Amino acid sequence: MPEGHTIHRAARLQAAALGSGPIAVASPQGRFSEGARLLDGSTLEGIEAVGKHLFYHWDRRPILHIHLGLFGRFSTFAGEAAPEPSPNARLTMAGDATIHLSGPTICELLDPLQVEQVKERLGPDPLDRDADSDAFVDALSRRSIPIGAALLDQSVVAGIGNVYRAELLFLEGIHPDRPAHSTSESERRRLWARAVELMQVGEGLGRIVTMDPRDVGAGSHRAIPKRARLYVYKRSFEPCRRCGTEITSWDVGGRRIWACVACQPS
């Protein structure tokens, strides 16, 4: 279930869990056997997250590039013996902890130049402390596509996916069909600030929670019932949590989006 927050969290937790010793790398499924052989027994120098991409840096080995896509998943086993990996496991890494990877869109080895080329295609990442928010604001001002589509374009902003785009546009009161360049500069700046805020929450919790506690009732995010974490995503025909208007959904940029057209006027 990967938007950028999942990826950054994985980088942080996996680096800590795997430890600094040699890592046994294998590919039970076989489609990454060659790469696994090359990495097997090497030590990990760090895991870098950029948008939805992960880069594993090893001691004198090529860089492992992973992108989970829609279906990719990690399973981490620490403190207990890891179970046999599923026959579909593309990659397993065993150090202090064991990690199984299945279903990634990308699992490949790259040299540093190729890594730079991947990064060059990405816009600023709200989870990057040094991100250039002006680049995001400028990119939106230059696009005539719907703002709902622009937020999914990873060259505009890296790490936002279908859940965050719908929730961000709700929270900022912006109709998803509005052309990106029709938004005001202050709307664009607020979108960025909100993305940073929401994705940091998501990184910390390991799931997407966008509701303001004031709209929920009280208590910590952990106490928020499953059904009450999001304002609009997948809530067709249900009442808006702010105004009661029925949530509607339609396609924007090739994906389903949900919105309250009363709170998000066109």
Partner DNA sequence: TACATATGATCAT
Partner DNA sequence: TGATCCTATGTAA
Q: How far is the CB of 99 from DNA (least distance, A)?
A: 14
Torsion sign over Cα 177, 182, 188, 190: negative
Smaller CB separation from DNA, 44 or 158? 158
Q: Which stretch binds DNA (CB under 7 A): 35-43, 68-76, 181-189, 214-222?
A: 68-76
C-alpha distance from residue 142 to each of 83, 139, 152, 154, 181 (Å): 50, 5, 15, 15, 6
Please report whether residue 252 would count as binding DNA according to CB under 7 A. no
Q: How far is residue 86's CA from residue 100's CA, in Å, rounded to a whole number?
A: 8
Contact 2, 68 (CB under 8 A): yes
Residues listed for the chain:
266
Report which of 252, 110, 113 is spatially closest to residue 174, judged by C-alpha positions.
252
Please report whether residue 2 would count as binding DNA according to CB under 7 A. yes
Q: How far is the CB of 103 from DNA (least distance, A)?
A: 3
From residue 118 to residue 157, what is the string marking binding to DNA with x (rule CB under 7 A)? ---x------------------------------x-x---
Please tell me whether residue 128 adopts helix, strand or coil conformation: coil
Q: How far is CA 63 from the centre of its chain?
A: 20
Contact 257, 166 (CB under 8 A): yes
Q: How far is the CB of 39 from DNA (least distance, A)?
A: 19
Smaller CB separation from DNA, 42 or 102? 102
Q: How far is the CB of 3 from DNA (least distance, A)?
A: 4
Please report whether residue 67 would count as binding DNA according to CB under 7 A. yes
Q: How far is the CB of 213 from DNA (least distance, A)?
A: 20
Please report whether residue 103 would count as binding DNA according to CB under 7 A. yes
Q: How far is residue 7's CA from residue 49's CA, in Å, rounded to a whole number?
A: 6
Smaller CB separation from DNA, 42 or 51? 51
Please report whether residue 210 would count as binding DNA according to CB under 7 A. no
Q: Which stretch binds DNA (CB under 7 A): 1-9, 18-26, 41-49, 129-137?
A: 1-9
Please report whether residue 1 would count as binding DNA according to CB under 7 A. yes
Residue 116 is a catalytic residue: no
The residue from 12, 142, 234, 255 that is catalytic is: 255
201 contact partners, CB below 8 Å, separation of at least 6: 209, 210, 221
Report which of 120, 16, 125, 132 is spatially closest to residue 78, judged by C-alpha positions.
16
Please tell me whether residue 188 adopts helix, strand or coil conformation: helix
Q: Supply the Cα-derived Rg of the chain in whole angstroms.
A: 20
Please report whether residue 71 would count as binding DNA according to CB under 7 A. yes
Q: Which stretch binds DNA (CB under 7 A): 15-23, 69-77, 124-132, 177-185?
A: 69-77
Please report whether residue 29 would count as binding DNA according to CB under 7 A. yes
Smaller CB separation from DNA, 44 or 64? 64
Please report whether residue 254 would count as binding DNA according to CB under 7 A. yes
Contact 99, 26 (CB under 8 A): no
Q: How far is residue 94's CA from residue 17's CA, in Å, rounded to a whole number?
A: 10
Active site residues: 2-3, 52, 255
